[in-house]
Amino acid sequence: MSGLAIHEARLLGRLHALGQIGRDGENRLTRLAASDTDRAGRDALVGWLREADLDVVVDRIGNIFGIWRTHANAAEAPLLLGSHIDTVIDAGIYDGCYGVLAGLEVIETLRAAGLTPVRPIAVAAFTNEEGVRYAPDMMGSLVHAGGLSVEEALASIGTDGTTLGAELERIGYAGVAEPGFLRPHAYVELHIEQGPVLEREGVPIGAVATLQGISWQRVVMEGTANHAGTTPMSMRRDAGYAAARVIAFVNEQARKAHDPSVATVGCIAFEPNAINVIPARATFTVDLRDPDEARLAAGEAALAIFLDEVAASEGVSVSVERLARFSPVAFDAGIVALIEQAAAGRGLAYQRMTSGAGHDAQMMARMAPAAMIFVPSLGGISHNPREHTPQADLVAGANVLLDVVACLADAKGDRHGYGS
Ligand code: GLV
Ligand code: MN
Ligand code: MN
């Protein structure tokens, strides 16, 4: 234990202040990556990083870093904390923002205590974690970790037809640093669970040991527009009905595979989208997730076979575009154990768990030992304005992060020394 405590009011105050940035006339919170509202959120964050006297660096993919280094430790690899501040549509205030602001809070707490860590400590807000406007998700951290070239990422076309690179320029967050410039000693991300496990178990701290694989695809089915009243059922090439069959199929497949396989069709558009016209085109997304790589791959293979069957039986054509594909990740056992020790040191119950959501830590694990700390989400609700975590849990999670950071930033020597 560090013997220190984070400044609760400062952390909660910033979390609520950031949660007011990007609200529309109906009070809905939306900060899609590289949008005007994202710019406003970024500006607030950068203001806080500067107030804390951190070096602020923005890289070419728009990732923002606040770095605390001293003359004595500048040559050491930094300990990196972070998450994201972009949101889904009509979001809650905690997803991502909690990890970024808690990272900043931990740095300020250590600094105010006069501690001089053996290595720099930095906090990152990664661009486009949500992947709502530009695919793939976790894009900023993926580029940072070398999994996608910055050129390819900047060329991504958004759901609104914009290009990420041009939008980052427009909002003033196309930085000059080369992604990957900061090679961390380790990466730790604090996040709300976004699922029901911790609340159900009555446990305040999750030590996240694994994160499930993610498969995102966009499917386009093309049939023929025709009159809804005059076209006999046997003569239809109905792209809408074909899509509905696929929606039912992926749902049933995941149910058959049992927990924890999940499948979602979250987006669908019909063309021409009229009450009395058979859909000529259906465009929809498929999100499959599974902690087991073989089962995830089997789900994808079954979908591919079913798409061919539907195409043949409904007389439609099918094209599939892969938007994202990430294998399950096992986090660093040493850091996971450290999180458990830190929770125990504060008298907090904890449990090991798998993350159902995607996170930047999943990408950072490619370049450094990484792990995550979860706190409960009431009702398991997230990606929804009703997302909520009690203040006591938010504070407890940030204090556990503080202790983990105090330990990792003081650890000298080989960067794998505490890991496995
Ligand atoms: C990110 O929020 C994801 O898991 O989709
Ligand atoms: Mn998140
Ligand atoms: Mn999210």
The pLDDT, as a whole number, for residue 411 is 41
CB 137 less than 6 A from any atom of ligand 1: yes
Angstrom CA distances, 344 to 86, 143, 327, 338, 394, stand at 32, 35, 31, 10, 17
CA nearest ligand 1 atom 2, residue: 130
The pLDDT, as a whole number, for residue 369 is 98
pTM: 0.92
Rounded CA separation 272/143 (Å): 37
Q: Which ligand is nearest to the CA of 384?
A: 3
The pLDDT, as a whole number, for residue 90 is 98
Q: Are 360 and 189 in contact (CB under 8 A)?
A: yes
Which of ligand 1's atoms lies nearest the C-alpha of 289? 4
CB 338 less than 6 A from any atom of ligand 1: no
DSSP code of residue 378: G
> 192: which strand partners?
375
- pLDDT truncated to tens, each residue of the chain (420 aa)? 678 999 999 999 999 999 999 999 999 999 999 999 999 999 999 999 999 999 999 999 999 999 999 999 999 999 999 999 999 999 999 999 999 999 999 999 999 999 889 999 999 999 999 999 999 999 999 999 999 999 999 999 999 999 999 999 999 999 999 999 999 999 999 999 999 999 999 999 999 999 999 999 999 999 999 999 999 999 999 999 999 999 999 999 999 998 899 999 999 999 999 999 999 999 999 999 999 999 999 999 999 999 999 999 999 999 999 999 999 999 999 999 999 999 999 999 999 999 999 999 999 999 999 999 999 999 999 999 999 999 999 999 999 999 999 999 984 333 333 333
Instruction: State in Å: Cα 156 to ligand 1 middle.
Output: 18
CB 130 less than 6 A from any atom of ligand 1: yes
The pLDDT, as a whole number, for residue 2 is 75
CB 184 less than 6 A from any atom of ligand 1: no
CB 167 less than 6 A from any atom of ligand 1: no
Rounded CA separation 116/118 (Å): 7
* Cα radius of gyration rounded to whole Å, the chain: 23
- Strand 317-326 and strand 213-222: the pairing is antiparallel
The pLDDT, as a whole number, for residue 420 is 31
Residues in the chain: 420
CB 358 less than 6 A from any atom of ligand 1: yes
